[in-house]
Amino acid sequence: MEPIEKIRKIKEAITSKYFFVDNFADEIIIKGKKQGFNPAVMLTIAADMVGGRVLYKGDYGFGKTTLPKIYTALARGIPMEVVQLATFQGHPEVSKFDLLGLPDLGKLNEGKERIIWSFAHLFDMPVIFDEFARIPEGKQGIVLSCIEEGVSKIGNNILFANGRPLYATANFIDDGNSDIIPPILDRFDFLMFNEYEGVLQTIKAQGAVQEKRVRNDLYLDQTDCLSILVDIVKESVDSDRFVESQKKIPKKILQDYAKHLNKLGLPEPLTLEERATLKEQIAEIPFVKGPENPEYFLHCLIAEINSSRKYGVKRSEDPPIIEEGGKDELRDKGTVSKHVQYPISPRIWRITDFAKAIALYAGEKKVTMGIIKAILPYALALCTFTDDFRGAVESNHRDYAIQIACAKKLVGEVQHKYDQTGYGAEVRDAIKFSMLFDSKKNLKEKEALFAKALDTLNLVKGKDDSFDIETIENPTVYDVMKRMEKDLDRKGEYL
């Protein structure tokens, strides 16, 4: 069986037996047809395939932690006992030692330095962090750097744990939960909301509870499993200098758990080799070429948000644009930049990896605009939207959490422009000229290409063929032409 077929069977097992929240069954276009799309499940799966990071928010009890735990157990073949023990728990007093490990006090008394590493770091498995918002805002950066950077240090002891997926959950702000600060939100790839999904899904969930199928049957015999785990923890302290995440769960546990899953009628977990094959297959998936290449649309959206006629580029420290300003302000007011407080970081391009993973799952040979448009709002939901924009969206009917609703409206506004006659074509032509211009080393070739770009984009005006950069309305075209013009003004010379 192909690895991706295993993933499909695992997804079907999860949504039919364990996880019934379907997030309003969003839509995606696959092979030209509109289909239902469960973003919470699909982006959880894709994150494991590409080493991504997903944040789940919502009220208490709606399966925020349940989904990544169940997926990890089934896809990796790791008993729920291990997954449970390896899950980090957020609390106000959390420290670096909680996340990485503690000094062995017995050895310290002997004058030796040794670390008892956190259980979560003993295996090559996703990092699951429950109730992240219970960590005070001042500590969030320290905590995330410990678990996301791949290399951490306690004394002279170094922990290597690179490229692992990260699933974090957070409740809404209340007396026990802080807000998650924007720099931390930017480290995640997607934001999901788990919430009430109606009568039918509730009936299914209650049926699972009555049959004792909600996680309970995913545990092995606790005595046997835990005795093996105790031995593993003892072995982990034998290294005095560093510990690297194990490549394999002990065979005894894997074999016992595989038999357990088979008895339950559940699919086989993926092997290390099959996970490696999936990564290779994902990396090879290209984007659709031509006008429907979604990379053009992403460039357009990012330029709309990050460009500023008034300030050159969008910066969080710059004053907001006001209606009473001049022509620069009016042009900025015509872009979606006015809807967000901070620019989008280059991390937004991580969604292309997720898009490739979903294309592979769906049987698409290339990443299409339909896939990008389906997942993009869940990436942009991590943005900090302005109060005015949130207020306008909140005043209307919506089926989604406010962050998702704002992101969908923002994407819709850019899509409306992009679909207009000439606008999308201008974006695509400008990007092509930018890439060609950058590849040229000869000044005359660059000048000729610039002149061709002016002509193609209909930017030359008047009898004297004059060109005024400030007349360009399209943010993508403006950014490209301004940078090309500056390069020519310097005659391509750089220190």
Which string of DSSP letters, residue by residue, matches 270-318?
A: PPHHHHHHHHHHHHT--BPPGGG-HHHHHHHHHHHHHEETTTEE--TTS
393 CB neighbour count, 10 Å cutoff: 20
What is the structure's pLDDT at 161?
Answer: 56
More confident residue, 231 or 187: 187
Identify whether residues 300 and 262 lie together within a single domain: no
Query: For 54-76, what is the mean pLDDT?
Result: 89
Q: Which amino acid belongs to residue 250?
A: P
Distance CA 480, CA 300 (A): 11
Identify whether residues 209 and 348 lie together within a single domain: no
Distance CA 78, CA 257 (A): 7
pLDDT > 70: what percent of the chain?
Answer: 76
Identify whether residues 19 and 117 lie together within a single domain: yes
Q: What's 172's DSSP letter?
A: P
- Which of 17-26, 272-281, 341-350 shows the lowest per-residue confidence on average (mean pLDDT)? 17-26
pLDDT tens for 36-52 read: 888 999 999 999 999 99
Q: Which residue among 377, 403, 419 closes a domain?
A: 419
Say whether pLDDT at 246 is over 50: no
pLDDT tens for 467-495 read: 777 788 889 999 999 889 888 888 777 77
What is the structure's pLDDT at 310?
Answer: 83
Strand-strand pairing, 242-244 and 157-160 = parallel
* 128 domain-assigned: yes
pLDDT tens for 417-447 read: 998 878 899 999 999 999 999 888 888 999 9
* 495 domain-assigned: no
436 CB neighbour count, 10 Å cutoff: 14
pLDDT > 90: what percent of the chain?
Answer: 37
Identify whether residues 221 and 76 lie together within a single domain: yes
Identify whether residues 223 and 333 lie together within a single domain: no
8 A C-beta contact, residue 120 and residue 127? yes
Distance CA 202, CA 210 (A): 12
Q: Which residue among 283, 300, 326 closes a domain?
A: 283
Distance CA 326, CA 17 (A): 59
Structure tokens at 2: 């192909």
For the chain, count helices (H), then strands (E). Answer: 21, 14
- Which of 193-197, 211-215, 272-276, 284-288 shows the lowest per-residue confidence on average (mean pLDDT)? 211-215
Identify whether residues 323 and 438 lie together within a single domain: no
What is the structure's pLDDT at 323?
Answer: 59
- Which of 231-245, 332-346, 400-414 shows the lowest per-residue confidence on average (mean pLDDT)? 231-245
Say whether pLDDT at 181 is over 60: yes
What is the structure's pLDDT at 243?
Answer: 46
* 494 domain-assigned: no
Supply the CATH number for residue 261's domain. Answer: 3.40.50.300
Q: Which amino acid belongs to residue 233?
A: V
- Which of 142-156, 235-249, 369-383 shows the lowest per-residue confidence on average (mean pLDDT)? 235-249
Number of domains in the chain: 3
Residue length, the chain? 495
Identify whether residues 326 and 182 lie together within a single domain: no
> In 3D, which of 356, 371, 282, 283 has the Cα closest to residue 3?
282
Which string of DSSP letters, residue by residue, matches 410-458?
A: HHHHHHHHHHSTTHHHHHHHHHHHHHHHHH--SHHHHHHHHHHHHHHTT
What is the structure's pLDDT at 152?
Answer: 59
Burial of 279 (0-12, 13-18, 19+ CB in 10 A): middle
Q: Which domain holds residue 463?
A: 423-489
What is the structure's pLDDT at 441?
Answer: 83
Q: What's 24's DSSP letter?
A: G
